Chains A and B, each alone.
Chain A
Amino acid sequence: GQSLEQPSEVTAVEGAIVQINCTYQTSGFYGLSWYQQHDGGAPTFLSYNALDGLEETGRFSSFLSRSDSYGYLLLQELQMKDSASYFCARNRDDKIIFGKGTRLHILP
């Protein structure tokens, strides 16, 4: 199987921290990516994990555990502009396989 599972919606408060989880079932592994998509916009690359551990890029961090087939995206110091859909995705040599996405709602 090549499915990726992530929560459909998450709600958090402005200024807080939120974690979006992703589990995957795949044969073979090529790395886990995260994309952000605002309503009406294009998916935008956020991060990529090829190896276990934490990757940090500003307010965003992404974690991968290959033994657990699990990863997460951590967003800190949430801002209203972070309201969007977030997709975990697997890279394959000929395609990217996306999860169904997590809609992040941010409350003021």
Chain B
Amino acid sequence: DAGVTQSPTHLIKTRGQHVTLRCSPISGHKSVSWYQQVLGQGPQFIFQYYEKEERGRGNFPDRFSARQFPNYSSELNVNALLLGDSALYLCASSSDPLISTEAFFGQGTRLTVV
């Protein structure tokens, strides 16, 4: 069985541009969460989606948005990129975060803003 898959694995964008990151959860998982991890820090929560609805949002500006599709895959969008948005973006899936104690992470998308 495939784990959590994310695309692309790496990308470089220019300040002010827009980026879309994609995530496919483990088959059967209905919840997808997004995290930002800067070098030397722990992952920071951005969004959680469950059954295509936003269930939680972290302390990130409105430039960050996400959605979940009927097949439970998800997109994270970031507008007006800043240099400080350079980070590893991780997607995690779980069956139902209210009852699941374990999150399964993808390998992440390494975003570099220049």
Q: Which residues of A contact B (CB under 8 A)?
A: 31, 33, 41-45, 48, 50, 87, 89, 91-101
Contact = CB atoms under 8 A, between A and B. Distances in A.
B58 interface: yes
B90 A91 contact: no
A72 to B, nearest CB: 17
Given A94-B56, A98-B43, A42 B102 contact: no
B84 interface: no
A43 B55 contact: no
A43 B41 contact: no
Given A42-B107, A95-B45, A96-B33, 10 more contacts: A42-B105, A42-B108, A45-B104, A89-B42, A91-B101, A95-B33, A95-B48, A96-B92, A98-B42, A101-B41
B94 to A, nearest CB: 10
Interface residues of B, number: 25
A100 B58 CA distance: 17
Nearest to A31: B101
Q: Determine which residue in A42, A44, A45, A99 has the highest number of CB atoms from chain B within 10 A of its CB, and name it.
A: A42
B50 to A, nearest CB: 9
A92 to B, nearest CB: 8
